[in-house]
């Protein structure tokens, strides 16, 4: 094996931050499916070759771990939860959390998804006009995720406190995730002190809810879990052990961090694409009308919205919220023809895989139709997302053992929210507005998505 792959000379952090998508495409075009980069002094290998991506994410998953991966913020908020832990700690937590994300469990959150969406559509959207939809979806997915996490049955003061604490802590977290330069969390800056205070308040609120619910369930076990919290409280490992209180808190916050912003971004891009592709929007709206009429979107009827599902898959292909997925070489490893020293950060790029010209026809075009065959053949999106996707180059939710535990949740949420919206509104760009630019940080977020929403 031949050491590091080829790559540009010098530190490219500034160039990458200036225009990440163009930078990534250019780097892959010039140097190929594996590119060695220096980013802020860190040696990084960017992977966009499907075979090498499969090696990192699936075949050699034990060689490429999370620990030591550069560029991860938010440990103060989420601690050592599923997203960042490794080895036996991760394995046990994942086993304990898996049942909470079974299809039947996920289906039980559809009512909260539809209900929270209705509040947005009947509230801020009621009058129509120009709306900051990305900001709206950030609030909406925070409300949906909070409802799924804690249920809708909390006493009012506790619900208000936990929601308020989450929002405050999240403002700090988003600011941090949005800045190109991340101040280490341990530095005693005023910003960090305020963030730490917000996390302390959040902890008190979350532990308050955990303890109250644990006591309630001990007194009167529920027939079925009412929330992700219930499911995690009820989870047992092979030895009958349960999740420790601290671990439970970390997983709840991890689910919030992992599931809220990604979902808001996915929805915002999907809406921008629909607004800029009126024929696709008309077709999706016609499908919703034909299948649902005025009926509320639910887990039971969402499966009949195949075209809308294709819209979501296609939006996730063109603008994958997780456009880079990071790993760290646990030891000296061989990756295809290369050999990488222990500690090397490897960034697999869903964004680049999704535009691989050898795998996709007209990769830059928004064509939900391209998913029709796959969805019909495999009977829905869940099956289409198996492995590295239908053609080995589709990984919006990652792949292998560390794939997204919330895939089913996120797909249902997207379809339910979009269907609710299309039942009542037509979306269009502001007059003369270009397609929103990407503002890639840790996630591929849109700069802002402002759209006209017309009541139907």
Task: Give the residues lining the site for ligand HEM (CB under 6 A).
Answer: 82-83, 94, 254-255, 258-259, 262-263, 266, 321-322, 325, 396-398, 402-406, 409-410
Residue 262 Cβ, how far from ligand HEM at the closest point, in Å? 3
Of the pair 163, 403, the CB lying nearest ligand HEM is at 403
User: Could you tell me which of 25, 31, 33, 24 has the C-alpha nearest to residue 8?
Assistant: 31
Of the pair 148, 452, the CB lying nearest ligand HEM is at 148
Q: Are 152 and 144 in contact (CB under 8 A)?
A: no
User: Could you tell me which of 337, 318, 340, 339 has the C-alpha nearest to residue 328?
Assistant: 340
Residue 220 Cβ, how far from ligand HEM at the closest point, in Å? 27
428 vs 453: CA distance, rounded Å: 7
Of the pair 33, 406, the CB lying nearest ligand HEM is at 406
Beta strands 345-348; 325-329: pairing state: antiparallel
Of the pair 205, 411, the CB lying nearest ligand HEM is at 411
CA atoms within 13 A on the CB side of 143: 18
Q: Which residue is nearest to ligand HEM (CB)?
A: 406
DSSP string over 178-225: HSSSPPPTTS--HHHHHHHHHHHHHHHHHHHHHHHHHHHHHHS--SS-
58 vs 395: CA distance, rounded Å: 12
Of the pair 72, 128, the CB lying nearest ligand HEM is at 72
Residue 84 Cβ, how far from ligand HEM at the closest point, in Å? 8
Residue 401 Cβ, how far from ligand HEM at the closest point, in Å? 7
Q: Which residue has the tokens 């979350």?
A: 206
Of the pair 322, 340, the CB lying nearest ligand HEM is at 322
Q: Are 440 and 71 in contact (CB under 8 A)?
A: no
Q: What are phi and psi of 42, to 5 degrees?
A: -95, 130
**Helix H segments across 277-320?**
278-292, 299-302, 306-318
226 vs 37: CA distance, rounded Å: 47
Of the pair 33, 321, the CB lying nearest ligand HEM is at 321
Q: Are 372 and 310 in contact (CB under 8 A)?
A: yes
68 vs 65: CA distance, rounded Å: 8
Of the pair 31, 94, the CB lying nearest ligand HEM is at 94
Residue 145 Cβ, how far from ligand HEM at the closest point, in Å? 6
Residue 95 Cβ, how far from ligand HEM at the closest point, in Å? 10
100 vs 229: CA distance, rounded Å: 9
Taking the CB of residue 58, how many other CB atoms lie within 10 A of it? 17
Q: How many residues in the chain?
A: 456
407-424 and 306-318 are packed helices; what angle lies between their axes, rounded to 10 degrees? Answer: 110
115 vs 371: CA distance, rounded Å: 29
Strand partners, 438: 446
Residue 349 Cβ, how far from ligand HEM at the closest point, in Å? 11
Residue 411 Cβ, how far from ligand HEM at the closest point, in Å? 8
Residue 1 Cβ, how far from ligand HEM at the closest point, in Å? 24
Residue 277 gets which letter from DSSP? -
Residue 167 Cβ, how far from ligand HEM at the closest point, in Å? 17
Of the pair 254, 349, the CB lying nearest ligand HEM is at 254
Of the pair 273, 452, the CB lying nearest ligand HEM is at 273
Residue 415 Cβ, how far from ligand HEM at the closest point, in Å? 11
Of the pair 288, 385, the CB lying nearest ligand HEM is at 385
Residue 406 Cβ, how far from ligand HEM at the closest point, in Å? 2
Of the pair 227, 426, the CB lying nearest ligand HEM is at 227
Q: What are phi and psi of 60, to 5 degrees?
A: -115, 35
């Amino acid at each position: 094996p031949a050491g590091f792959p080829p790559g540009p000379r010098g530190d490219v952090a500034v160039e990458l931050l200036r225009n990440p998508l163009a930078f990534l495409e250019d780097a892959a075009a010039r140097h190929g499916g594996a590119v060695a980069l220096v980013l802020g002094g860190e040696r990084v290998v960017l992977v966009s070759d499907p075979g090498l991506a499969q090696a990192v994410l699936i075949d050699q998953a034990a060689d490429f771990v999370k620990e030591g991966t550069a560029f991860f913020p938010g440990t103060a908020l989420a601690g050592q939860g599923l997203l960042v832990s490794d080895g036996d700690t991760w394995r046990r937590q994942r086993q304990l959390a898996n049942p909470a994300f079974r299809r039947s469990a996920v289906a039980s959150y559809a009512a909260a998804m539809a209900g929270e969406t209705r509040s947005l559509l009947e509230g801020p959207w009621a009058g129509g006009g120009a709306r900051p939809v990305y900001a709206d979806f950030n609030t909406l997915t925070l409300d949906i995720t909070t409802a799924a996490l804690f249920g809708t049955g909390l006493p009012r003061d506790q619900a208000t406190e936990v929601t308020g604490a989450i929002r405050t802590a999240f403002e700090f977290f988003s600011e941090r995730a949005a800045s190109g330069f991340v101040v280490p969390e341990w530095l005693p800056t005023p910003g960090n002190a305020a963030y730490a205070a917000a996390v302390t308040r959040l902890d008190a609120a979350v532990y308050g809810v955990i303890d109250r619910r644990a006591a309630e369930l001990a007194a009167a076990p529920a027939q079925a879990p009412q929330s992700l919290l219930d499911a995690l409280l009820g989870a047992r490992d092979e030895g009958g052990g349960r999740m420790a209180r601290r671990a439970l808190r970390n997983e709840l916050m991890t689910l919030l961090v992992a599931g809220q912003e990604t979902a808001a971004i996915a929805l915002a891009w999907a809406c921008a694409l629909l607004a800029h592709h009126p024929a696709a929007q008309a077709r999706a709206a016609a499908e919703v009308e034909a299948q649902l009429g005025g009926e509320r979107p639910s887990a039971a009827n969402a499966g009949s919205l195949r075209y809308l599902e294709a819209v979501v898959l296609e939006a996730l292909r063109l603008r994958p919220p997780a456009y880079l997925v990071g790993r760290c070489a646990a030891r000296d490893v061989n990756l295809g023809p290369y050999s990488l020293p222990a500690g090397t950060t490897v960034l697999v790029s869903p964004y680049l895989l999704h535009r691989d010209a050898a795998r996709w026809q007209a990769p830059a075009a928004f064509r939900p139709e391209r998913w029709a065959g796959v969805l019909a053949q495999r009977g829905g999106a869940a099956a289409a997302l198996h492995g590295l996707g239908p053609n080995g180059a589709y990984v919006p939710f990652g792949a292998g053992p560390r794939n997204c535990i919330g895939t089913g949740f996120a797909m249902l949420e997207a379809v339910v929210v979009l269907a609710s919206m299309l039942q009542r509104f037509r979306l269009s760009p502001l007059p003369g507005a270009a397609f929103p630019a990407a503002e890639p940080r840790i996630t591929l977020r849109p700069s802002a998505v402002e759209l006209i929403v017309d009541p139907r």
